[in-house]
Amino acid sequence: MMKVSLVKEMRAVDRRAGEEYGLPEVVLMENAGRQTAAAMVSLLGSVRGKTICILAGSGNNGGDAFAAARYLYNEGAVLKVFLTGNPDHIKASPSIMKQALTAMGIAVHGLAGDRDMDRLRLALRFADGVLDGILGTGFRGTLRPIVRQAVELVNVAGKPVLAIDIPSGVEADTGAVSDVAVRAAKTIALGLPKPGHLLGQGAIYAGELTVDSIGIPRQLLEDEAILQACIDDGLAAALLPPRPRTAHKGTCGRILIVAGSRGMTGAAALCTEASLRAGCGIATLAVPESQQPILAVKLTEAMTVPVPEQEPGVLGGSEALKALVPLVEGYDAVLVGPGLGRAQVTGEFVKALVREADRPLILDADAIYALRGTPEILREAKHVPILTPHLGEMAGLLGLSVADLREDLAGIARDAAAEYHAVFVLKSECTLVAFPDGRVYFTTKGNAGMATAGAGDVLAGTIAGLMQQAAEGMAPVLGVYLHGFAGDLAYQEKAEGLLAGDILAKLPEARRRLQAHSLPYNKKHDENE
């Protein structure tokens, strides 16, 4: 399992590397330079005889760039080096790296006026590649005019760019780009990846992401105080224990789904089948009574239960609640919401069910909509509920705009999870899972082809189906991984034409591939991974 660090956490790691392990800043900078040079060689195939334009700031990111320049020069590269910051403000360690570079006879050009920018423009025109070492992870806000101009010239040039740690102009904790940022072909993250590599525009500007420890002791990179992590193959495999030979349908999970309304039977069918494809033993769909015959035909492997309705296809009212509350007791978990509809009576029914159901709840789609304006009801649930909102649903639930949410997806999800004592599976270009104890997991699977109607229903059903199979409390994390993995397998065949049903169909294969190297999950294993 690879951790994901916030800026302040990475700074603490760097400081501890010096204080506890005797690894001063300049040693880590040297390591960063060497690995950055290797990444540039990988990006270009070879650097011998090739011209590389290097842009360095006056901070540590610039120091990494100066160090990389030495290694690239020794590999036979032709260098054009530019300092974007004030030469009087260069910090101690970067200054050492710059001095070593100039002692080798390599000129470092300043960027102060139009003539300097013309020199940069010319260098970029004839460059084979660009190294972005202008700004590091400490950047927030907007670029200085000179830096902005340099970044714009880099982007216009259209040459392959390698960004050190994070593309200049991207905020490392959020992935936000308020002005303009370097569009990198590849980014080498130093130490650990940052949320900004995975979220928002940062994920786009970063290009291909590689991570290098730069010699930081593993104990620091795996510190339990760092609460963010990637949902990678190793973690997912550890969360899916092998099914014992003595298993039967009753031990693999009994799941109740409350879903569907007039015109939205597809959502109910997708999530119900997804729970079965994820491996649960029994799935029962509770649906408005007028829609039950339709869904009984759609679903041959699931049971269907007609629920009293207020009007044709609209679930709600005291009779529906009276029928469902005792029904819930026969199941291990309950999924509520896909295609349920947004009638007021349905919303009131959902709120009552959240309060009264004595089983773990997974709330999706219309069930989340029902809680708009009253998210505090989540605290009344008898078990920690799991919510699976997309950005619009999350914004509506919290009374924010999507733009507000975008400013800090991970932070807002973490705060909401703590405040409402719920797990949030926040669906975006990088779906994340936030727990009430502060843990946040970022997916490493999924693709743009999955932006299709019904994909969220499949995810909700997948999570529900894993509730009795995954390591305790970790069904949302495993569900996000398997759903994204299935989507990637489907994308290989269908590309942007894939449907939610294609994701559904690939769930067994995704599980089979993961199961092939699955390990029992426990704390000791996680620590020693």
Distance, CA of 121 to CA of 112 (rounded, Å): 14
Contact indicator for 51, 122 with CB cutoff of 8 Å: no
CATH code, 444:
3.40.1190.20
Q: What is the pLDDT of residue 518?
A: 56
Residues 7 and 143 in one domain: yes
For helices 92-103 and 25-44, angle between their N-to-C axes, nearest 10 degrees: 50
Residues 95 and 197 in one domain: yes
Q: What is the pLDDT of residue 528?
A: 37
Q: What is the pLDDT of residue 524?
A: 34
Where is the domain boundary, 226, 258, 275? 226
Where is the domain boundary, 176, 195, 226? 226
Domain that holds residue 400: 235-528
Instruction: Indicate the number of domains in the chain.
Output: 2
Residues 380 and 352 in one domain: yes
Residues 280 and 185 in one domain: no
pLDDT tens, position by position, for the chain (529 residues)?
A: 899 999 999 999 999 999 999 999 999 999 999 999 999 999 999 999 999 999 999 999 999 999 999 999 999 999 999 999 888 889 999 999 999 999 999 999 999 889 999 999 999 999 999 999 999 999 999 999 999 999 999 999 999 999 999 999 999 999 999 889 999 999 999 999 999 999 999 999 999 999 999 999 999 999 999 999 999 999 999 999 888 889 899 899 999 999 999 999 999 999 999 999 999 999 999 999 999 999 999 999 999 999 999 999 999 999 999 999 999 999 999 999 999 999 999 999 999 999 999 999 999 999 999 999 999 999 999 999 999 999 999 999 999 999 999 999 999 999 999 999 999 999 998 999 999 999 999 999 999 999 999 999 999 999 999 999 999 899 999 999 999 999 999 999 999 999 999 999 999 999 999 988 654 443 333 433 3
Residues 6+ apart with CB under 8 A from 442: 4, 195, 198, 199, 228, 229, 230, 231, 410, 430, 431, 432
Where is the domain boundary, 226, 247, 267? 226
Q: Amino acid identity of 338?
A: P
Residues 221 and 266 in one domain: no
Residues 222 and 239 in one domain: no
Residues 130 and 31 in one domain: yes
Residues 101 and 243 in one domain: no
Residues 243 and 298 in one domain: yes
Residues 210 and 295 in one domain: no
Report which DSSP code applies to 449.
Answer: G
Q: What is the pLDDT of residue 178?
A: 81
Instruction: Produce one character per residue of 274-301: b if its CB has 16 or more CB atoms within 10 Å, e if not.
Output: bbbbbbbbbbbbbbbbbbbebbeebbee
Task: State the DSSP string of 465-489.
Answer: HTTTTSSTT-HHHHHHHHHHHHHHH
Contact indicator for 122, 153 with CB cutoff of 8 Å: no
Q: What is the pLDDT of residue 517?
A: 65
Q: What is the pLDDT of residue 113?
A: 86
Contact indicator for 438, 450 with CB cutoff of 8 Å: no
Residues 47 and 175 in one domain: yes
Look at the chain and count its residues: 529
Strand runs (DSSP E) across 232-292, as ranges?
A: 254-258, 282-288
CATH code, 209:
3.40.50.10260
Q: What is the pLDDT of residue 520?
A: 47
Helix (H, G, I), strand (E, B) or coil at 353: helix
**Structural element, H or E, at residue 362:** strand 361-363
Residues 432 and 285 in one domain: yes
Q: What is the pLDDT of residue 521?
A: 43
